[in-house]
């Protein structure tokens, strides 16, 4: 992936680690293999992508931005222990990477999306009543979309956020304050 970007554009400025699976089990129910898969997909993939992208950013662009996608599930107790733990690890990883690579010109931030209605959610199907309950769970009373998450991503990866690093930004319509 890094080699492709460098070959195509000659430099690497941004890495967005947008990956995740959700295993909806309690710790008393989850098999070790499921736990390890959850961590491998949601955390280890971000470590590996960053491991290779950060040196390329430093060498080709003199710095850059890494954006990790977490979830408010890491901050709001609602079950889903394997998923919540993996996204909590993403947030800790974000802060550690920001401290480790800031002096190299690398900014590392995360977005913690709330219950946005995205194409992936729509493809799985969602009853209108569930969709309405999700909307009502927000302090703003609005349904979020993938565009809301994208707008935050554009900001955090832009030069306008040049003095922002180590931040986990909830983009959740105020679910965390309700």
CATH of residue 131's domain is 3.40.50.720
The 10s digit of each residue's pLDDT in 137-162 is 999 999 999 999 999 999 999 999 99
The pLDDT assigned to 125 comes to: 93
The pLDDT assigned to 120 comes to: 86
The pLDDT assigned to 78 comes to: 77
Task: Work out how many domains the chain is built from and give that number.
Answer: 1
The pLDDT assigned to 74 comes to: 94
Distance CA 8, CA 82 (A): 37
Structure tokens at 15: 């890495």
Averaged in consecutive runs of 10 residues, what is the pLDDT profile of the chain (178 residues)? 97 97 93 97 98 98 97 88 96 98 98 93 92 95 96 98 98 95
Edge-to-edge strands, sheet with 14-17: 14-17, 64-69, 106-113, 168-171
Q: Which domain holds residue 15?
A: 2-177
The 10s digit of each residue's pLDDT in 97-113 is 999 999 999 999 999 99
Answering whether pTM is above 0.85, one says yes
Of 144, 132, 133, 136, which is closest to residue 173 (Cα–Cα)? 144
Catalytic residue check, 4: no
Q: Which residues pair with 110 in a beta bridge?
A: 68, 168
The pLDDT assigned to 79 comes to: 77
């Amino acid at each position: 992936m890094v080699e492709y970007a460098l070959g195509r554009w000659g430099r690497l400025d941004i890495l967005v680690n947008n990956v995740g699976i959700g295993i909806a089990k309690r710790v008393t129910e989850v098999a070790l293999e499921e736990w390890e898969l959850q961590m491998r997909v949601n955390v280890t993939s971000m470590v590996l992508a960053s491991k290779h992208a950060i040196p390329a950013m430093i060498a080709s662009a003199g710095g850059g931005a890494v954006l990790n996608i977490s979830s408010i599930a890491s901050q709001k107790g609602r079950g889903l222990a394997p998923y919540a733990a993996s996204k909590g690890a993403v947030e800790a990883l974000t802060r550690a990477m920001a401290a480790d690579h800031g002096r190299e010109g690398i900014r590392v931030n995360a977005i913690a999306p709330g219950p946005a209605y995205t194409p992936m959610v729509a493809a799985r199907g969602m009853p209108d009543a569930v969709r309405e309950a999700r909307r009502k769970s927000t302090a703003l009373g609005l349904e979020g979309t993938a565009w809301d998450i994208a707008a935050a991503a554009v900001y955090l990866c832009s030069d306008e956020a040049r003095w922002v690093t180590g931040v986990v930004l909830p983009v959740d319509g105020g679910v965390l304050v309700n």
